[in-house]
A and B are shown apart, each in its own frame.
Chain A
Amino acid sequence: MKLGKPGNKPTDAGSALPLFIFGSVLLILLALCLASASQLLQQQRRLNCMSDALALDLAASGFAIGEQSNQSTLRNLANTDARVLYPPETKLGTAWVSDVGSPAANEASVRVCQQVALVWSAVAPSTVCASSSAGYR
Chain B
Amino acid sequence: MSARGETGNLGVELLLVGLVLPLIVVQLGLGAFAGQRASLAAQQLAREAVRFAATGRYNQNVEQLLKAQIATELGVAPSEVAVTVASTAAPNTVSANARVAGATETAVMRVQK
Residues in A lying within 8 Å of B, measured CB to CB: 13-17, 20-21, 23-24, 27-28, 31, 34-35, 38-39, 41-42, 45-46, 49, 52-53, 56-57, 60, 81, 84-86, 90-91
Contact = CB atoms under 8 A, between A and B. Distances in A.
B65 interface: no
Contacts of A21: 17
Contacts, number: 84
Interface in B44-67: 44, 46-47, 50
B80 interface: no
Interface of B: 6-8, 10, 13-14, 17-18, 21-22, 25-26, 28-29, 32-33, 36, 39-40, 43-44, 46-47, 50, 90, 93, 105-110, 112-113
A34 B14 CA distance: 26
**B interface, over-half SS:** helix
Contacts of A84: 90, 93
A53 B36 contact: no
